[in-house]
Amino acid sequence: MKKYKEWISYILIIVVIVLIRTFIATPVIVDGSSMIPNLVDNQILILYKLDKNYKRFDIVVADHKVNGTKEHLVKRVIGLPGEYVEYKDSKLYINKKEVKENFIDVETADFSLAKLGYLEIPENYYFLVGDNRGDSSDSRILGLIPKDEIKGKVKFSLFPFNRFGKIKAN
C-alpha cells in the first residue's frame, strides 16, 4: 500500500506539470538574431499562454508556417486589428500618426500595409516584426499572423543569467 501511495504522488506531480505546460506557461528558446538587441539567440524565455489580449509592443510567440515548416516565431506586436501600419524614414506610423518605438534604435526600411494588399489589419490578425529589422523574417515578408497562431506573451527571461528577469514590452 505504501508503494501505491508513492506512485500516486509521482503521477500527480507529472499531471500537474503537464497541465501547467499545456495551459499556463512553458519555456521557449529564441532561435536566431531577429530580436537583437532585446533578445538574443538561445535565450530561454517563459511563454504565458493565458493572456490573449495582445497590445502593441508585446513580445509574443507564434506557430507559423515558414517555407512549409511550422516554426516558433518570437516577434513584437506592432499592428493591431483595424489599424493601418507603415514605416517611413525608419519611423512607425499607425493610422498615419507617428508612434515611438523606444525599445530599438535601428533603421527600418520603408514599408506599408498596402504592400501586403491590405488597407487595414483584419479582425483576428496581427502585424508582428522582429526588433532586428534588417535580419528578421516577419509580417513584412510572411504576411499578417492570425490570432489563433499566437500562443501567448513572453514576459520573463530565464537564461542567460545576465538577462534573467522580467522583460519590458516598451
* Of 130, 165, 163, residue with least CA distance to 59: 130
Set 75, 136, 139, 157: catalytic member:
75
CA 77 to chain centre: 7
Order of strands across the sheet with 85-88? 97-99, 91-94, 85-88, 111-112
Set 34, 136, 139, 157: catalytic member:
34
Task: Indicate left, alpha or beta for 139 from its phi (over 0: left) and psi (-120 to 50: alpha).
Answer: alpha
Cβ burial 151-169 (10 Å sphere, 16+ → b, else e) = bbbbbbbeeeeeeeeebeb
Q: How many CA atoms lie within 13 A of 109 on its CB side?
A: 12
Q: Is 34 a catalytic site residue? A: yes
- Mind telling me the catalytic residues? 34, 75
